[in-house]
Amino acid sequence: MSATFTGRSAAPVFPAWRGQALDEMLYHCRELVEDTDFPTVRRWREAGGKVAGHFQVYFPEEIAHAGGMLPFKVRGAAVEPTQAESRFGSYLCSILKTSLELALGKRVELDLFVTHPICDAARNLAGVWGRNLPYPCRILYLPQNPNSAFATRYLRDEYDRTRRVCEEIAGRPISDADLTHSIAVFNENRALLRALYALKCERPWQLPADDAYVLTAIGGLVPREEHNDLLRAVLPLLEARAAPRQDKIRVILEGAFCEQPPLDLIRAIARSCYVVDDDLLIGLRWITSDVPDGGDPLLS
């Protein structure tokens, strides 16, 4: 990033875990993930930061991060959609309604919201959101045929359009150097998440599914640098965890692409079997290797 702008608040937005033992760290992570008032987002805004809300898949978070914004993963919540219910048909999934409810009820305040045409409901969400909230709401259009010779250039242009929108919100240009720096930060995050899931696969008795979930989910609620700090600190503690191996079946949990199951349900599943892999919060782990840091960063 530019030498005069870091994009981070002066103080961490999630300091509670620091200096704590493993069980206390996990407790604070669970409390934050289940808090529907999103205190870390509030602290970020109180420090003068801007927030870019987006569905948890397909959004290029590095672009918002490069503009000094906090990418916030919108994934619904355990709230009653009392206001949002009237904005949608009764047949639509609850993630749309509870996500909009968070914004209408001012549980979370954004400066930008971006959705994607991944389904009919999501395709129209930006229009509904934009009619009810006073900040820009945009659609990031994805190539319909990713194997087309023009798909890469098309998506690059869409990313550039997203960069220009983020520049308007951030009030500053987003340079290629800013993007390259952000790619490096997110590459470290991806490597740490790979290490977390490798431990979960190889020694699931040391990392139950619910613990892995909260440690991953934190990444959508705090600056990615803080998430990196947390994962660097917690991984050695998990590897040294004295947990007995039990006679449990190993399973892969699939099907939670957008809407996430309640944490209590994940915990209940983890008590009866070893969840060695899953597609929970897949947006944080969609890219399975480092993004190249040379050349045009929007093509990376």
Domain layout of the chain by residue ranges = 22-299
Residue 224: what pLDDT? 98
- Closest by CA to 94, choosing from 107, 80, 105, is 80
Residues in the chain with pLDDT < 50? 1-6
Cα–Cα dist 24/30, whole Å: 10
Residue 68: what pLDDT? 98
Residue 7: what pLDDT? 53
- Choose the CATH number for 22-299 among 3.40.50.300, 2.40.10.10, 3.40.50.11890, 3.90.25.10: 3.40.50.11890
69: buried, middle or exposed (CB in 10 Å: 19+, 13-18, 0-12)?
buried
Residue 4: what pLDDT? 38
The neighbour count for residue 260, using CB atoms within 10 Å, is: 20
Q: In 3-state terms, what secondary structure has residue 129? A: helix
Token couple for 23: 């069980």
Token couple for 109: 């305040």
Residue 56: what pLDDT? 79
Contact 44, 51 (CB under 8 A): yes
Residue 289: what pLDDT? 86
